[in-house]
Amino acid sequence: MNSLAETNRFASLAAITGDRPGVALPTPWRGGLAAAAAWALTAALTWAWPDLTPWVRTGLLALLETGVALFLAGAALLGGVRLAAIHPYDRWFGALAAILSLWQVLTAKTGLLPLPFFPPPQSILEVYTDDAARLFESVWRSLVLLIPGYVIGGALGFLAGVSIGWSKAANYWGHPVLRFVGPLPATAWLPIAFFFFPGSHSASTFLVGLATFFPVAVLTASGVKGVNSAYYDIARTLGGSERFLILKVAVPAALPNVFVGLFMGLGSSFAVLIIAEMMGVKAGLGWYLQWAQGWAAYANLYGALIVMALLFSGLISLLFHVRDQVLAWQKGIVRW
C-alpha cells in the first residue's frame, strides 16, 4: 500500500543520486522538508519583495537563504543517518526562517521599525562582508586579552584552592581573604588596575585573571575540603606520603569542583573583558561595540553581538568538552 509507493519513490530517487539500488533508504525527514520550504519562502520574500530603500546585500541574503533551503532539503531526502543529529532541531530551523522573514518585513520591506535602531538582516550581512577585517582583528585582540589572563588566573586559583583546602595555615590566612575580597566584582578593580599597571593590556589581563581566580580558588578549596576522609585513610594505610595524598587523592577528587569554578570564572572573565575593552584597551570586541555605537552603526553592533555570542558559547563548549574528557569517570554531570 502506501509504504510500497514510498519504497518505489525512494528507489527512483536512489537511481537519480547514484546510490546503489536495493539499499533501503530511511523515511525522509519530514520536519526538514517543512523547514526547507520555510527557508525557500523566506528566500522568495527577500528576492521578490523590493526593499523600501535598496540594500546592497539583499541579493546575497536571498542566495544564502536558498542555500539553507537546499541544504535542508538535501539533508531531508538524502542525508540518511549521517545528519540525523540535526533532525530534532527541525522546528528551530523553521522558526529561524519565520523570524528572518518577519524581521525583513518589519524593516527593509516596509520600514515599520525605524532605522538606525532596527537594521535589517541584509545590513548585518553587509557588516560581515564589508567589515570582516576589523571584526576578525577584534576577535583576535579579545582572545589575546582573554586567554592569558584566564589561564594565569585559573592556574593560580587552582593552586590557592588546593593550598587553602589542604593546609590549615593556608586556610587560616587565605580563607578570610577569599571571603572578604572574593565577592567584589573584578570590574570594581578597574580604575585601580588601570592606575597601577603600566599599560591597559596588562591591567586587563590582571582583571580577567582576578575574575577567574576567585571562583576557581573557592570551589577548588571546598572540593579539597569535601573529599571523603576514608579516601585519605586508605592512602595513608597503603603508605602514601602527603604529596601522594594531595596529588593522587585530593586533586582528582576535587576536579569536578575545579571545573565548576573554571566555568564560573569563564563567565565572569567575559564580562570583565568586554568592560575593560570598552573602558581602556581600545581594541577587541568590546571596543568594537563602543566604536559602532559611536557611529550609530547599529548593524555593526548587532553583528558584533552575534559574533560574541558564537565566540563565548564556543569557548564554554570547549571547556565542557575538556571536562567531559577529564571527568569521563563521572556520571550524570551537568550538560551544556
Partner 1 sequence: MVTTLDAPVDQGLSIQTRGVGHWFDTKDGRLDVLDDVTIDVAPGEFVALLGPSGCGKSTLLRLIAGLDAPRTGKVGADKVRIVGPDPSRLLVFQDPTLYPWRTVRQNVALGLEATGQAKGAQDRIDRALDLVGLRDFAGSLPNELSGGMAQRAALARVLVNNPRLLLLDEPLGKLDSLTRMTLQAELVRLWQDARFTALLVTHDVEEALLLAERIIIFSPRPARIVREIRVDAAYPRHRDAPELQVLRREILVSLGHDHEL
Considering only 53, 239, 294, 325, the residue that binds partner 1 (CB under 8 A) is: 239
For the bound state, the minimum distance from the C-beta of residue 240 to partner 1, rounded and expressed in Å, comes to 4
List the x/- string, 297-336, binding to partner 1 by CB under 8 A: ------------------------------x-xxx-----
Closest CB to partner 1 among 239 and 294?
239
Q: Is there binding between residue 247 and partner 1 (CB under 8 A)? A: no
Angle, CA 300 vertex, CA 111 and CA 295 arms, to 5°: 90
Closest CB to partner 1 among 89 and 244?
244
For the bound state, the minimum distance from the C-beta of residue 260 to partner 1, rounded and expressed in Å, comes to 16
Closest CB to partner 1 among 96 and 327?
327
Closest CB to partner 1 among 156 and 245?
245
User: Would you state the cell numbers that stand for residue 81, as one nine-digit string?
Assistant: 543517518
Q: What's the N-to-C CA distance of the chain in angstroms?
A: 45
Sign of the CA dihedral running 185, 191, 196, 197: positive
Q: Is there binding between residue 235 and partner 1 (CB under 8 A)? A: yes
Considering only 253, 315, 319, 333, the residue that binds partner 1 (CB under 8 A) is: 253
Q: Are 303 and 132 in contact (CB under 8 A)?
A: no
Interface region with partner 1, contact rule CB under 8 A, candidates 19-27, 55-63, 85-93, 226-234: 226-234
Residue 105 CA to residue 45 CA, distance in Å, equals 9
Residue 94 CA to residue 267 CA, distance in Å, equals 30
Closest CB to partner 1 among 27 and 229?
229
Considering only 238, 294, 325, 335, the residue that binds partner 1 (CB under 8 A) is: 238
Closest CB to partner 1 among 305 and 326?
326
Considering only 16, 198, 230, 335, the residue that binds partner 1 (CB under 8 A) is: 230
Closest CB to partner 1 among 7 and 330?
330
Residue 99 CA to residue 92 CA, distance in Å, equals 10
Considering only 248, 305, 315, 333, the residue that binds partner 1 (CB under 8 A) is: 248
For the bound state, the minimum distance from the C-beta of residue 238 to partner 1, rounded and expressed in Å, comes to 4
Query: What residues contact 229, with CB distance under 8 A and at least 6 apart?
Result: none
Residue 261 CA to residue 156 CA, distance in Å, equals 12
Q: Is there binding between residue 236 and partner 1 (CB under 8 A)? A: yes
Closest CB to partner 1 among 13 and 245?
245
Residue 45 CA to residue 65 CA, distance in Å, equals 10
User: Would you state the cell numbers that stand for residue 209, as one nine-digit string?
Assistant: 585573571
Q: Are 38 and 60 in contact (CB under 8 A)?
A: no
Query: What residues contact 298, with CB distance under 8 A and at least 6 apart?
Result: 116, 117, 118, 119, 292
How crowded is residue 73: how many other Cβ atoms within 10 Å of its Cβ? 20
Q: Is there binding between residue 234 and partner 1 (CB under 8 A)? A: yes
How crowded is residue 208: how many other Cβ atoms within 10 Å of its Cβ? 29
Site of interaction with partner 1 (CB under 8 A): 228, 230-231, 233-241, 244, 248-249, 252-253, 255, 327, 329-331
